[in-house]
Amino acid sequence: MPRTLVIGTRNRGKVREIAAILAPLAVDPVPLDALGDVPPVLETGETLEANARAKALGYARATGRWALADDSGLEVDALGGAPGVRSARFGGEEGSDARNNAALLRALADHPPETWTARFRCVMALATPDRVLAVTQGTCEGVITDRPAGTNGFGYDPHFYLPALGRTMAQLPAEEKNRISHRARALSAMKDRLVPLL
């Protein structure tokens, strides 16, 4: 396996999390922004796995290197699993955390708070320019809160409350989040797949 691993995202929060978790391995995680004008791979899949596979393979082919990509989503039970694969665009504009969170709270307004159980789900894919080598996933269970708290996260993190810890995801130090988050769990499983390749 090449030592350089393209991280298929321009989301700086994701890049930091992935790089921190991969730190013990002998790989050099390279974000897309460091590679110049790499065209984006559109997330047109109907599932998180389809998007993760498409992005990993697309970025591997575009750069000629191995690539790691994920698609993550928030699944709220009261909303039948929504926003799910549409999490990044739930508010109508991709990348707008404020609009996405506002749309989430509007959608939950008619549901009693005790039904606001939810989970973050992450599906991660590793690919060469020729094929997808591995797919893993991880989840993290919690409850949506209408009172955001914390500044350490991004996306829906300030509204994702972890009852066992008494804090939102955005209130966790990075080290703790990188142990228990959905992305951490998917990446931990991917590390197990990467080690034999290294």
pTM over 0.75, yes/no: yes
Of 11, 144, 126, nearest in space to 74 by CA: 144
Supply the range of the domain harboring residue 136: 4-197
State the DSSP string of 94-133: TT-HHHHHHHHHHHHTTS-GGG-EEEEEEEEEEE-SS-EE
Tens digit of pLDDT per residue, the chain (198 long)? 567 899 998 877 778 878 888 888 878 889 998 888 899 998 889 999 999 999 999 999 999 999 999 999 999 999 999 999 999 889 986 668 999 999 999 999 999 999 999 999 999 999 999 999 999 999 999 999 999 999 987 899 999 999 999 999 999 998 898 889 898 899 999 988 888 887
Residues 21, 15, 145: CA angle, nearest 5 degrees: 85
Under 8 Å between Cβ of 99 and 36:
no
CA 181/CA 188 separation, integer angstroms: 10
In which residue are the tokens 């991969």 written? 22
Under 8 Å between Cβ of 59 and 6:
yes
- Number of structural domains the chain divides into: 1
Answer yes or no: 71 catalytic: yes
Q: Label residue 161 exposed, middle or buried (CB < 10 Å: 0-12, 13-18, 19+).
A: buried
Q: Which one from 28, 33, 71, 110 is the annotated catalytic residue?
A: 71
Q: What CATH number is associated with residue 77? A: 3.90.950.10
